[in-house]
Structure 1
Amino acid sequence: MTRNIAILSGFFLLALLGGLYAAIRFFAPDDQFAQCRASVIAGGPGEIGGPFTLISETGETVTEKDIIDKPSLVYFGYTFCPDVCPIDAARNAEAVALLEERGTMVKPVFITVDPKRDTAEVLAEFTDYMHPRMVGLTGSEDQVGAAVKTYRAYFKRHKPAEGAEDFYLVDHSTQTYLMFPDLGFVEFFNRGDTAEKIADRIQCFVEAS
């Protein structure tokens, strides 16, 4: 009797899983990047990214169409960051260099969350040091805030000490976003991802696009 119940339970579980798989296949559109993805986005990839207007490190007003004209790695940080941002930006630059050796061109993009201190000139010095093709973007408080919001990113400035108004830290999210022209957001990478791992996954997305 117990054996029969176990067998019936097994059949029921298989039927349930099969029905769930069929429902997912029926209601969800085919994902050309399914074999490349390692993350799940609540609401789908379309919930991240969108229009923005910012100032480039050369002082020009640019939009997302000007910047994301090829596969791009987008990171939100600030140049006065004491540790996290330089490490992440350098890792992203290394991933881009690895891909370039394979013949795949990806643009590294650094958007500041600290426009008060990160002028175009400051960003240019920072990005030129990180990678010759890295693009730095700043803007007004409202422009930067809008860009952060459209990427569902986060930042919060700490209140500076009295008399030291130019010395403060900024908390911020640390994901790196992979963006494609026309397609928009396709994947994000976390701090624990190595340059090699990022390069391999980006290569998968590029080949599947």
Structure 2
Amino acid sequence: GGTEDGRQERDNQRLSAWKRRISQKGPINWQSVGLLVLVGGAFVIYYNEQERKRLLRLQETKIGQGFGKADIGGPFVLLDQNGKTRSHMDFRGKYMFMYFGFTYCPDICPNEMMRMKQILALLDKMHVADKIAPIFVTIDPERDGPLQLK
């Protein structure tokens, strides 16, 4: 058991010496502080760059690509369901009740057309329907020809 006791004694001395060094220096040294600052700084730089990219994408989404300025309320020329050219002059003295849609619209368009019909019926009961010009403007002229619009 002598060598065993000696080994145990040396291990205890090493452990005591290590504990003294830790208690004198403390658990934090300059190397660990430097590593923490380096890793923390890298994280802050990475986070700021990702946030900058996110804000840029958000700004692009809000602004979007424009296609010029819309002309609202100006003169126009359209083809009616019979293929006849109609202009704003044909509706002088009337309020134009315009709906923009397409005939190959399974959900919203039929509901909106039904609402438009109900509003026109209500205006007719109020004896003001003759002052209203309901106008359907297709946004799918490739498929919405005069046959589909009748």
Q: TM-score, normalised by structure 2?
A: 0.48
Q: Which has the larger radius of gyration?
A: 2
Higher share of residues assigned helix: 2
Q: Relative contact order (alpha carbons < 8 A, sep ≥ 6): 1 or 2 greater?
A: 1
